Structure 1
Amino acid sequence: MKNIIRFLFLLIMITSCEEDLNINTNPNTPVGADKSFILTAAEGSLATIMGGYLTNVGGFLSQYHTQPPSASQYLDIDTYNMNADHANRMWNEIYAGCLNDLSYVKQVSDDENDTGSYLIATLLQSYTFQVLTDLFGSIPYSEALLGEQNISPKLDEGDVIYPALINSIDDALAKYNTNPVSSTVGTQDVIYSANMSDWVKFANTLKLKLYLRMAYTSQANPTAVNALLTANNFITSDAKFSVYSATQEEDKNNPFYDVQIDRLGDVNNIASASLLNFYTDNSDPRIDAVYRKNTSNLHRAIDQGDRGSFASLVAGAFSRPNIKPNTPVYLLTVSESNFLQAEALIRYASGVGADAKYNAGVLNSFLTYGLTAAQANTLTGTGGAYQYVPSANIETAIRQVMVQKWASLAYINNIEAFFELTRTKYPEIVTFGTQNYTIGNLIISKNSILPAGQTPKTLFYPTDEINRNKNVNQKDALTEKIWWDQK
């Protein structure tokens, strides 16, 4: 396993240091390479982006952290002033690394009739495309990854990509169920060690997420959602990439830790009052799992973007993200699965059983953070701050689920929290001075350069892609809505 990890990190280093990758070819996937090693590299590439760039960006946009007064590295994010160069490396890494590698694994697995490995690669590719289209809207999909056959792939709209992803998952499941060949990649699959039962559960959970993302659109599909709920075969263990070194070793640590804490000196991310005060006001012990205390052994935050009020204070005066060298990168958690099920039951099954799924979501959040069931039950039990209160009003009931989902995703999957608060509008973004952090509220960053009341909904297409793909036209603003943002 040690040699696998070394190989993986070598591939990641080569890709992340390359400035001008061609997204239509992948220099890190030599013809004839063992698909098991390529799968490991693809998973590592995805984890690098999810746990690095998207943890940082998602943390600002979900108001888990903000820029400290003494630093300015990420003022462009905190002020909602991200430009077209912002996502260059992320875009290149995803297309030239992760997605190309997964296509290779799918092709070889199909040739070898390895339906298990084909399913794994399909699921990871579908997950990655979902993240990309949720972040950028229209993206290269149907014509992507064709190499020199098409160096300027067209952009497919998100409302076309989503059904295509579901069909892709269903096709891979059908292929596996018809001829259930267990994946040959073994422990080179560092997420579920090629346990096909776990991957089938991942497939169902991912499909549920895709269907619920469409809940406010004309493509909402209650029948499909209820079929998944009836089958009740969702993940029972967190899908995570967890082979990072527990000691401080360059390029072998959690990607957020490696860059933000180790290389950049832990000076750019401090707690936002939006989340820290929510934890504090509700006596939520997750606060110590999510944030490290300041140099005075206290928890302290600032309102999102409020640099001017604390200009003389350095980052150490505030709480900061509690990410360690070996903190895993999570793709899907049992907590998130239960919150998805709770939302589905509220929307499409009259709320029957939603309370149990909601409680399980909170409970498993605590367990993922290394806390205890007793601590969770104290808050969700009768009279607890997080006690579920049934409501005949669907949105009132869903709000409880989404606020807890937001509180559970901090440094677990920051970008997913951004997608969900954008889709559902929970926690609400309110005018500064009217916020109630105790119940879960966000504010517009006090540094915002956008017109009053506006916040980012997307990212600009990278300059690299604009320059090399004639089919990509830059969007007008960060405030353009993703297609499922219809509430």
Structure 2
Amino acid sequence: MKNLKITITAVMALFLFQSCSEDKMDEINKNINNPTEVAARFIITDVMVNSAFAVTGSDASFYGGIYSELNAGSHGQMYEAQIRRNDPQLASTYNNNWNNSYEQLRALKVIVEKCTTGNEKDNYQTLGVAQILLAYNLAVLTDLFGDIPYTEALKPGVIFQPKVDKQEAIYSEVFKNLKEGIANLNKTSAYASLGSQDVIYGGVSSKWIKAANGLMARYTMRLSLRKADYQGVIDYVNASFADADNEFKVTNSSVPNPYARFNTDRAAISVAKSFYDTMLANGPADARTAASFTKISGAVKPFNNSIIDKDGQRLYSISAFINERNPIYLLSYHELLFLKAEAQARLGLPEAQATMNDAITAAYTKKQVVTFTAGQANTYIASIGVLTGDALLKKIMVEKHISFYENEGIESYNDIRRLQAMGNGSFIPMVNPKPELFPQRFAYGQSDVVSNSNVKELYGDGTYVYKEKVWWAGGTR
């Protein structure tokens, strides 16, 4: 009996040891660096950074700036875009931007689901911020590409070939998410503030609400050809941020300005002669003309984009303000004021020029590493004189175009197409010698052209980018 007891005890001990070992092995086998559940507050930080650097400030801004003649492509793929040598129609040209946009949208959808029906239900601040960022990323994508997959997209392993949604429907989603984001940010959250995880506004909900109203102003103006609501633009601007300190941007020592980084790595973008000529036309009172560009052999040497200069690195002048510490703008204060000035001018309101003057001052004093003073702005403003009608409207749009230098290229490109559609294309004339090859949109990304038959059919041979305007510019898709 004694031996039997010892045997039973030994077997039980062995069983317990094995159970404990299996539990321990399960714990050991967990990859703590690849968790299956991540708190929404950590996901959203990456989205903020990537929305600024990868979606807004990089390829899309570079190409948009070249097409709008804010800059000139003087080397490599930027030169190919400049001379329209197939690059604008190639699916590979914009593939990085296409994929980056969808990565952010997918992450934001995960956050929205977690904060509505998931394990972070009632996390209203994070939900509201995510909805605003979703609206922003969705608008950037559709503004550049037109009709895009959305309602059936962002479902990996479920729908492999999502349908393509119309831009008009996409814009309804943009406004819906902005409004819902504002509503959720006005609620009392059951969770702590995002705090330092919010690299844009530090977890201050009121600032996100102001940014959302600013985006409402931008996108309401974008749809002016389809449904003009200039008073709405003014009202949204008035509900948005009132100074450059609270504008929608990323300024972080760990996130370099992509325009500056691209110049260091590629030296592929230079001053466009047409843009420099626009600056010169302002006369000597505009202090920006003499100081905004680097000099070669003592003089500004722009890339002649009306005849197409030769390909080469560091042959031409570049921005004198390039710096990796410059902000990456998602929505700048100067843009906001120019939106208001344009809306007032289109309504014939007498305060339009005063608002334009405020916008010019904001552009002069924007918070980059090197800037100008309010006094210099006043000197220039005094030289403009009183303007009315189309002359005032043109001046507003020209000054807005100048304010976007050096790398708010996406909005510059959007404005050029909108003005052309509204019969104001002469305000900022394009001098590229191949006007028939002005890209009306970006070509769909290669990853979907080769894998999604719905996108492949719309892409065709890519030449549609020269012929088919996006919906808000008068096109059908």
Distance 2:192 2:228 in 1: 33
- Aligned partner of 2:53 among 25, 48, 55: 48
Note if 1:125 corresponds to 2:123: no
Matched, 1:93 2:100: yes
Matches within 5 A, 1:58-73: 58-68=64-74, 71-73=75-77
1:13 — aligned with what?
A: none
Secondary structure of 1:240 counterpart: strand
- Which of 111, 116, 120 does residue 125 from structure 2 map onto? 116
Equivalent in the alignment of 2:458: 474
Deviation at 1:419, TM superposition (A): 0.3
- Whether the 8 Å contact between 1:244 and 1:254 is mirrored in structure 2 is no
CA deviation map 1:434-478 (0-9, x unaligned): xxxxxx6433323x3x64xx5211011122111212221234422
The reply to whether residue 413 of structure 1 matches residue 404 of structure 2 is no
1:398–1:134 Cα change, 3 Å: same
Match of 1:285 among 273, 287, 300: 287
Structure of higher CA gyration radius: 2
Shift of 1:486: 3.4
Note the 1:249-264 alignment, pairs <5 A.
Answer: 253-258=256-261, 260-264=262-266
Question: Within the alignment, does 1:400 sit opposite 2:404 as a pair?
Answer: no
Deviating more after overlay: 100-109 vs 332-341: 100-109
| Residue 39, structure 1, aligned to residue 34, structure 2 | no
In the other structure, the counterpart of 2:438 is: 455
Cα shift at 1:122: 0.9
TM normalised by structure 1 equals 0.79
Equivalent residue letter for 1:228: Y
Q: CA deviation at 1:129?
A: 0.8
Q: Which range moved further: 37-46 or 122-131?
A: 37-46
Deviations 1:333-357 (A, max 9, x none): 1111111111222334x32422222
Give the direction of change, closer, same or farther, for the CA distance of 1:90–1:377 in structure 2 (3 Å limit): same
- Cα distance, 1:86 vs structure 2: 0.8
Aligned to 1:152, what secondary structure does the other structure show?
A: coil
CA RMSD after TM alignment:
2.7
* Aligned position for 1:15: none
Aligned sequence identity (%): 25
Uncovered stretches (5+) of structure 2, i.e. residues with no partner: 1-32
Alignment-derived partner of residue 84 in structure 1: 91
What residue in structure 1 maps to residue 430 of structure 2? 443
* In 2: Cα distance, 1:117 partner to 1:235 partner: 24
Distance 1:220 1:280 in 2: 33
Deviation at 1:93, TM superposition (A): 1.4
Question: Which residue, 461, 474, 477 being the options, matches 1:486?
Answer: 474
Cα distance between partner residues in 2 of 1:130 and 1:204: 14
Contact 2:274 2:431 in 1 (8 A): no
* CA deviation after TM superposition for structure 1 residue 362, in Å: 0.8
Structure richer in helix, relative to its length: 2
Report the CA distance between 1:293 and its aligned residue: 2.7
Distance 2:34 2:336 in 1: 33
- Counterpart of 1:361, as a letter, is A
Are residue 364 (structure 1) and residue 362 (structure 2) matched?
A: yes
- AA aligned to 1:474 is L
Does the CA contact (< 8 Å) of 1:87 and 1:461 recur in 2? yes
Change (3 A) 1:427 1:222: closer
Change in CA separation of 1:332 and 1:359 when aligned onto 2, cut-off 3 Å: same
Q: Does the CA-based 8 Å contact 2:70-2:412 persist in structure 1?
A: no
Do the aligned partners of 1:460 and 1:474 also contact (CA within 8 Å) in 2?
A: no
Kept in 2: contact 1:427–1:441 (CA 8 A): no
Aligned residues of 1:216 and 1:486 also touching (Cα < 8 A): yes
Distance in 1 (alpha carbons) for counterparts of 2:409 and 2:253: 19
Change (3 A) 1:76 1:38: same
Query: Are 2:259 and 2:322, in contact at CA under 8 Å, matched by a contact in 1?
Result: yes
Contact 1:270-1:315 at 8 Å conserved across structures: no
Query: Contact 1:358–1:388 (CA<8 Å) still a contact in 2?
Result: no
Given that 1:66 and 1:304 are in contact with CA atoms closer than 8 Å, whether structure 2 keeps it comes out as yes
Contact 1:339 1:357 in 2 (8 A): yes
- TM normalised by structure 2 equals 0.81
